[in-house]
Amino acid sequence: MTRIEQLVFCRKCLNRKRDLKQGFICNLTGEKATFQDECSDFILDETVKERPLELDDKEGLRPSEIQQSLPFETIEKLRMEQRLMFGITSGLIVGIVGAILWSILTVVAGVQLGYVALAIGAGVGLTIRKVGNGIDPVFGYWGGGISLFSILLGNFLSIIGFIANSTGLGYIETLFLFNYDYLFEVMKAAFSIIDLAFYGIAVFTGYKFSFRKITQKRIMALKQGNVFL
């Protein structure tokens, strides 16, 4: 049984418990349902009125949940629509552009605007989602990796901008004259603990947003043959 089919039973069971992150879980095990066809611990809650299961049409399912909810043949059809290289390329372009814009804002403001890193992660992820059309974990790995690269690049370009302003050199000239043997030391000196939090959230955002958005409602429609995603 799929998660959606299990929920039809769970929402009518006295042993149900609502979890803010997972939805209905079993109050006996503290976990999501794992039964097939029927549950030995099911106790009908007669106060629950029969009504159609309300399926989420906003939150996209994780790759593992999609693969558990759809038959193998449908998963393979969705995989045929994936475009990994196009997704990577477009995500990288957005990430580099975001890094350049972030560095300009940082130099102009005179201080690093950490929340822009989150926007870069989201931009990279959403671009990979739109162009890549992927459901496999590799899309998320690339989304997170490109987000991290873009943030580090933005930091480096900001440093180049500050050096150029302090020395009176042009930005391009500073890029060529910079002694890259000291790159690690310079990046380390500019690093702060708060950066770690921004980096982590940005990488997670880049990972999460990189997948094709398939909701519970669309899963059910697809299984019923009403729509093809």
pLDDT along the chain (229 residues), means of 10: 72 83 82 85 78 52 68 78 95 96 90 84 95 92 96 92 90 90 85 82 93 71 52
Phi and psi at residue 116, to the nearest 5°: -65, -30
Cα–Cα nearest to 134, from 91, 196, 190:
91
Cα separation, 229 vs 223, in Å, equals 11
Model pTM above 0.75:
no
pLDDT for the residue numbered 64? 72
pLDDT for the residue numbered 219? 61
pLDDT for the residue numbered 56? 47
* Beta strand pairing call for 16-19 and 23-26: antiparallel
